[in-house]
Structure 1
Amino acid sequence: MTLDVWARGDAYEAYVGRWSRRVAAEFVPWLGVPAGRRWLDVGCGTGALTRSVLDLAAPASVVGVDPSEGFLSTARAEVPGATFSPGSADSLPVDDGAADAVVSGLALNFVPDATAAAAESVRAAAPGAVVAAYVWDYAEGMQMMRHFWAAAAGVDPAGAALDEGTRFPLCRPDPLRRLWLAAGLADVDVRGIEIPTVFASFDDFWRPFLGGQGAAPGYLAALPPSRQEAIRTVLRDRVPTRADGSVALTARAWAVRGVRP
């Protein structure tokens, strides 16, 4: 049983939404989609990727789809110019071939059936459309989460089963490539996108984990206060802190793209 929670857009933004925006800023230009095209953002969450599409791709339209009404409420408030609809990745509320670019940011690992979600994205894509996604490199490159789960394992070994690095095989390049190829996409390519994640202090680093949104915060919220504090203490000792008190880490995402024949 997992403790992933996706309901409050503000807490999610503080946790990883702000870092997703930096990945999206590199991801969208990499796709090379011409201006004036129709975009579909699958699992749009609070609209981090949707915003980058509007800012960087000069789209004709952008539709974001997500099952969380809380996230959609945040997206509608923060990303004017896009249309947002409730729906799941394996049953998109759009017609066949409705989009010239179908994208997804940080959602694939959390859908019940990634194979079905990839097939549904292909269904929604017009012939010649780009289908693309990015996910965190939970296994190695997403340093804030690697530090958290290492600290948690020392306090609560049972929590290791919830570590995204072991739960999600799609956080690596080869499984992503295989998923896209199995969905029938052509010209499949995978690349890493690494961004800095700098926190003003350890408290600035720790506070987003208390928001309850996502895998690690959801797990932490379910623990008694004494274990939460024990994890905080271990984490403070292991996270590298600079002379000015700031915490400078990096986060890597894996991005995959292909073309619908």
Structure 2
Amino acid sequence: MGFDVAGEAYDRFMGRYSRPLAARFADFLGVEAGQHALDVGCGPGALTEQLVARLGATHVAAIDPSEPFVAACRDRFPGVDVRKGAAESLPFDDGVHDVAAACLVVHFMKDPVGGLAEMARVTRTDGIVGATVWDLAANRAPMRPVWEAMAEIVPDHPGERDFPGGSRASLVAVLEGAGLRDVASEELTVTVAHPTFEEWWEPYLHGVGPVGDALASLGDGGRERLEEVLRRTLGPGPFELTATAYAARGLA
């Protein structure tokens, strides 16, 4: 899956949505001064940025399996303990964090329940473990226009609707399956303004994530057809797109 890309490429693609989402997610988790927090699947650092602003760099740790993302996060947030690794095998001792959070990561974990159970292990008793994932099941993610156009070009393409954690029920089930207690959930919505079609479309051409893989599979002719559908649907700009995620949290 296409996450071995520079942090800047991911920022242009998803950061414009993940940054405002991360702010709302940190509010939902109740992150506050004095805590120590872990950002699991940190990417280039959308949630890390929020944690550093609220807690200070020395109270934040972050981890991601992508070497380019780890490098970007380290460069952007000196003092944060940024490591390379996966959620399913966290290199931290038991109970060392007050908060462990995964922003737009659960649906990419090889073992989502195992990953959340690891997050619970490294969180103190009664600490907060949380995750947020776009509402993929109802196609309310930022990639919605692309997947709708893809359905017109390649009707049998599966998209992302069936990814784990991509609905409220699925995400809550992952947390409960990991043994978290008193699980609560909430919708988080962000709206992003795009000045032109080109500003919105260009980041999709860098092969990031499942939608990047899908575009690559179309070939030049298929991508041109897809772009024609998208230009017809969205127009030249400016336009706004609204995306909705589900967030869930529980006690370790």
Matching residue of 1:212: 207
How far off is 1:34 after superposition? 3.5
Alignment of structure 1 residues 231-242 onto 2, 5 Å: 231-239=226-234, 241=235
In percent, how many aligned pairs have the same letter? 36
Q: 2:242 aligns with which of 247, 250, 261?
A: 250
The question of whether the paired residues in 2 share the 8 Å contact of 1:38 and 1:59 is answered with: no
Distance 2:9 2:213 in 1: 11
Q: 1:1-261, aligned counterparts within 5 Å?
A: 4-8=1-5, 9-58=7-56, 61-140=59-138, 142-158=140-156, 160-161=157-158, 163-165=159-161, 167-239=162-234, 241=235, 245-260=237-252
Offset of residue 76 of structure 1: 1.3
TM-aligned CA deviation for residue 60 of structure 1:
5.2
Number of residue pairs aligned between Structure 1 and Structure 2: 251
CA drift of 1:58 comes to: 4.8
Structure 1, unpaired ranges of 5+: none
1:79-107: per-residue Cα shift (whole Å, max 9, x none)? 23312101111001111112110001001
Distance across 2 between alignment mates of 1:247 and 1:79: 32
Q: TM-score with structure 2 length normalisation? A: 0.94
Deviations 1:127-164 (Å, cap 9, x if unpaired)?
11100111111233535412101111211234x12x11
Q: 1:59 to 1:128 in 2, by over 3 A?
A: farther
Q: For the aligned residues, what is the CA RMSD?
A: 1.6
Q: Which amino acid aligns with 1:7?
A: D
User: Does the 8 Å contact 1:140/1:146 carry over to 2?
Assistant: no
Task: Please tell me whether the aligned partners of residues 141 and 251 of structure 1 are also in contact (alpha carbons under 8 angstroms).
Answer: no
- Rounded to whole Å, the distance in 2 between the matches of 1:113 and 1:144 is 24
Decide whether the 8 Å contact of 1:35 with 1:59 is kept in 2: no
Write the distance in 1 (CA, Å) between the matches of 2:43 and 2:230.
28
Structure 1 residue 210, shift from structure 2 partner: 0.4
